[in-house]
Structure 1
Amino acid sequence: MTPEQCKAARELLGWHAERLGIMAGASYHTVRDFERQARRTLPRTIDAIRAALEAAGVEFISDGSDKPGVRLRKASE
């Protein structure tokens, strides 16, 4: 998950960084700093953020190019 994907996923859900932090067991500052690439974020923290977004219905997509993206899962999935 890239910082750009994280921010886009959060925006799709209508979540503030604070809510994502709560859902991932991380702080608001950790989420904000990851999205801004302000400091190194531990891989386990990135995994927790991604897991929280996926649990909320976000899919991380990549077509093998350098343009990864995000989308919401369909309700039937």
Structure 2
Amino acid sequence: MARAATGLGVRDLARLASVSPDTIARLERGEELRAATVEAIQAALEAAGVDFIPENGGGVGVRLKR
């Protein structure tokens, strides 16, 4: 959802996070990745304007920064 909200393609996000496009695909399929890899992808999405929302009764989520 976060990638789609930014309009980034799989290859774009992979380049920004310094991972392979296959790694992005694995993440989106729900496969388990190393914590450092997930952190790199999250940092790239945050730099692209995504805000990660912690669980607040309605579950975790994302939104675009203002």
- TM-score over 0.5 for the alignment? yes
What's the % identity of the aligned pairs?
39
Deviations 1:25-68 (A, max 9, x none): 0000001011102x421100000000000011100113433621
- Count of residue correspondences: 66
Matches within 5 A, 1:14-25: 14-25=7-18
TM-score, structure 2 as length reference: 0.89
RMSD between aligned residues:
1.3
Give the C-alpha shift of residue 21 in structure 1: 0.5
Unaligned runs of 5+ in 1: 1-7
Unaligned runs of 5+ in 2: none
**Rounded Cα–Cα distance in structure 2 between residues aligned with 1:71 and 1:40:** 23
1:35 correspondence with 2:28: yes
Match 2:3 to one of 6, 10, 18: 10
Q: Secondary structure at the match of 2:59?
A: coil
